[in-house]
Structure 1
Amino acid sequence: MLIAIRVFALMLILLLGGIWTAAWLGRAPGEGVADAFLRRIGSFVGADMPAPSAGGVQLPQGLALGGPFSLVDQTGRAVTEADFAGRTLLVYFGFTYCPDVCPTELGTIAAAIDELGEQGAQVTPVLITIDPERDTPEALADYVSRFHPRMVGLTGTAEQIAAAARAYRVFYAKVERPEMSAYLMDHSSFIYLVGPDGKVRTLFRPESTPEAIAQSVRAHLRGT
């Protein structure tokens, strides 16, 4: 069983790596690699990816992200998607040992909520770890408090994290090298705008500005 899981994981990594390479080689003039990757994913599942909107990347028709999950928050309480029903979320998959991109994107989320002013109270920022081996509830509690007082940190078993990542089409893999004193995690780096129904409404590419995210969130809140 363990061998089968490892073979499946390897095949998934190779598949996503191949799609990423094809996206990089076949992107249109002026198109970012992340946008090209999403377009390739949309084509892979049988849907065309439309051009990015001003505030994010719209999902192709027929491609649904998000949904049920069972995790543990930074207080040690078991939670599911039902605990967030009716709320608008900004969700990011990362890990506390991340040296660069994770703190940058989480800082962007916090800045976007501040940019929203009073409307920011309607949005809950969420970090879902892809490194449950090290990211205990205690570690997450300390980490998320550095970015926003209302940021929620979620962890769980390896199986629970894998299930949540599949629901959001998140790629992640452990990276270990002889010269490294501790392992890192390679992962996709999108911010997800999740509606009150638990479904993803918009993806934000890495390095999206807080202003662009806030603009998209405002439009979403007007429509809910």
Structure 2
Amino acid sequence: MKLDKRILALGCLAAVLVLVSGWLWMSRTQGEDFAQCRKSVMAGGLENLGGPFTLTNQDGQRVTDAQVLDQPSLIYFGYTYCPDVCPLDTARNAEAVSLLAERNIKTKPVFISVDPTRDTPEVLKEFAQSISPDLVGLTGSTEEIDAVSKSWRNYYKLNNQDNPEDYLVDHMTNTFLYLPGRGTVEFYGRDVQPEQMADSVACFVNAAS
């Protein structure tokens, strides 16, 4: 009986070592592949950002991360009632996507709402149409938005204590670059221009191919 327990313990330890070794290998490989492209550093590693999700798009359809992030994607967390930052950042991302299309590099701008109460699919659709026909808008329940936001370590806070209808939302303004099969590989701040973003994304896409 003691021997069986030792064998089981050794088997579990071996499995853990294999998983850790695989994670380290993937992290190191990603770093080597994209070393010439990457300019951002995040504690814990960019490759740990993101995770599975099921949300609702602007057409009212339930979609998964696999369906949405099926090509290089620029992911932004914001809300449609945002007075300036969100529309400007989202338009910048859409412009970068257009610049990449001119280079025959297909990418997708994705907007995930952090204000699901007001950002219904209908509202998101109107917002997306005003920005770009390529923009994918996503919303969901409060629990779903909390989960997907946390998976990208995105902070947001609704300031709706005094007025439940007319309020602002504090949120981070990073745009994340996601590559299918490689995960999150980079993020961009508000100071990055469309041309700079397009050059960076092209570098990552070419390095991954």
1:70 Cα shift? Answer: 1.2
> Partner residue of 1:150?
134
CA separation of 1:180 and 1:163: change in aligned 2, threshold 3 A: closer
Q: Please state if 1:118 is matched with 2:93.
A: no
- Secondary structure of 2:73's aligned partner: strand
> Partner residue of 1:212?
196
> Partner residue of 2:3?
none
The equivalences for 1:98-113 within 5 A come to 98-113=82-97
1:110 Cα shift? Answer: 1.3
Q: Answer yes or no: is the 8 Å Cα contact 1:112–1:213 preserved in 2.
A: yes
Q: Answer yes or no: is the 8 Å Cα contact 1:57–1:205 preserved in 2.
A: no
Q: Distance in 2 between matches of 1:144 and 1:120?
A: 23
Q: Answer yes or no: is the 8 Å Cα contact 2:76–2:110 preserved in 1.
A: yes
> Partner residue of 2:15?
none
Q: Answer yes or no: is the 8 Å Cα contact 2:69–2:178 preserved in 1.
A: no
- The runs of 5 or more residues in structure 2 that have no matched partner are 1-35
Q: Please state if 1:193 is matched with 2:177.
A: yes
1:105 Cα shift? Answer: 0.4
CA separation of 1:55 and 1:145: change in aligned 2, threshold 3 A: farther
- Secondary structure of 2:92's aligned partner: helix
Q: Answer yes or no: is the 8 Å Cα contact 2:100–2:107 preserved in 1.
A: no
> Partner residue of 2:40?
57
> Partner residue of 1:136?
120
Q: Please state if 1:183 is matched with 2:163.
A: no
Rg: which structure is higher?
2
- The runs of 5 or more residues in structure 1 that have no matched partner are 1-52
Q: Please state if 1:81 is matched with 2:89.
A: no
- Secondary structure of 2:131's aligned partner: coil
CA separation of 1:55 and 1:101: change in aligned 2, threshold 3 A: farther
Q: Answer yes or no: is the 8 Å Cα contact 2:113–2:137 preserved in 1.
A: yes
Q: Distance in 1 between matches of 2:39 and 2:87?
A: 20
- Secondary structure of 2:157's aligned partner: strand
Q: Answer yes or no: is the 8 Å Cα contact 1:85–1:196 preserved in 2.
A: yes
TM (norm. structure 2) is 0.75
Q: Distance in 1 between matches of 2:195 and 2:204?
A: 14
CA separation of 1:121 and 1:76: change in aligned 2, threshold 3 A: farther
1:206 Cα shift? Answer: 1.6
> Partner residue of 2:149?
165
RMSD (Å), alpha carbons: 2.4
